[in-house]
Structure 1
Amino acid sequence: MYNRILIATDGTELSDKAVRAGIELAALSGASVVALKVVSHYPRSYMEGTDLQDIKEAKRIEEQWTEQAQVLLGGIKNLGQEHKVSVTPEVVHSDLVAESIVETAKKRDCDLIVMASHGRKGLQRLLLGSETQHVLTHSHIPVLVLR
């Protein structure tokens, strides 16, 4: 059915449900998994929505976010081992989350993307956008969205 599944996570409770479902699907189909966490860059100007930060402090914060991502992906790797699924963790640094998901799936030769939808509606969706919607409209491989 599937050979390699990319599971995108942001560490939220809803995303954790998608991770579990993706691992279970990989176990059923004998697929391997690429577990992806996209880490955004720390804003460095008023225009990006924060106070000006010392470059060293911004770098320290980004390193902390990267470490947290690695811990999160380590947990997914352990879950994969419990289900006898090979999991390759991958951290990507980018402010373009959806583009990073699609590009990583293509680069890693994945044949399915699994991710969560946060179910935003109305004005909130318009203002915040939807990474899931962007992946759905720009991916050339199937996307399984879980709620």
Structure 2
Amino acid sequence: MFKRILVATDGTALSKKAVDSAIALAVQNDSDLVALTVVPRYPKSYFEGSMSFSAEDIGRIEKQWADKAQAMLDKIRDRARERGVRIRTAQASSDLVAESIVAAAKKHRSDLIVMASHGRKGLKRLLLGSETQQVLVRSSLPVLVLR
């Protein structure tokens, strides 16, 4: 049914469950899997006037974040391959998480996006926002949301 599934993960326990479900779905459908994580950029504007970091320091911090994200993706790749799933990993560096997920799904010609949602409601959802909700709004692809 699905030829290529994109699973978005941030390394949290909840997104790990989404990864496990995406791997199982890929096994069931003999699908390719793309594991994606979006690494935020260093928030330079938060510290204007109070702390100064050099471009070199910011680059080092962002590289540490990217390396940590790649280690997480490597573990996902190994778990998927153990189950016989054809997988590729991808990393995006952006503060626009939902847009990055939708763009990656398009780039990799995915048929389905799998991701987790914390299921926040009311004021918490309004204040914290929901990347999952934004993906649902922006994507023309089916999105499987797991909690």
TM-score, normalised to structure 2's length? 0.95
Identity of aligned residues (%): 55
Question: 1:63 is matched by which residue type in structure 2?
Answer: K
> Cα distance, 1:47 vs. partner?
6.6
Moved more, 87-96 or 115-124: 115-124
Partner of 1:92 in structure 2? 92
- 2:130 and 2:117 map into 1 onto residues whose CA distance is 8
2:145 maps to 1:125: no
Question: 1:83 is matched by which residue type in structure 2?
Answer: R
In the alignment, structure 2 segments of 5+ residues that lack a partner are none
Question: 2:15 is matched by which residue type in structure 1?
Answer: S
> Cα distance, 1:121 vs. partner?
1.9
- 2:123 and 2:30 map into 1 onto residues whose CA distance is 41
2:78 maps to 1:78: yes
In the alignment, structure 1 segments of 5+ residues that lack a partner are none
- DSSP-derived class of the 2:67 partner: helix
Contact 1:41–1:93 (CA under 8 A) maintained in structure 2: yes
Partner of 1:26 in structure 2? 26
Q: Deviation string for 1:51-81 (max 9, x for gaps)?
A: 4422111111100000011000001101111
> Cα distance, 1:124 vs. partner?
1.7
- DSSP-derived class of the 1:90 partner: strand
> What RMSD over aligned residues (CA atoms) do the two structures have, in Å?
1.4
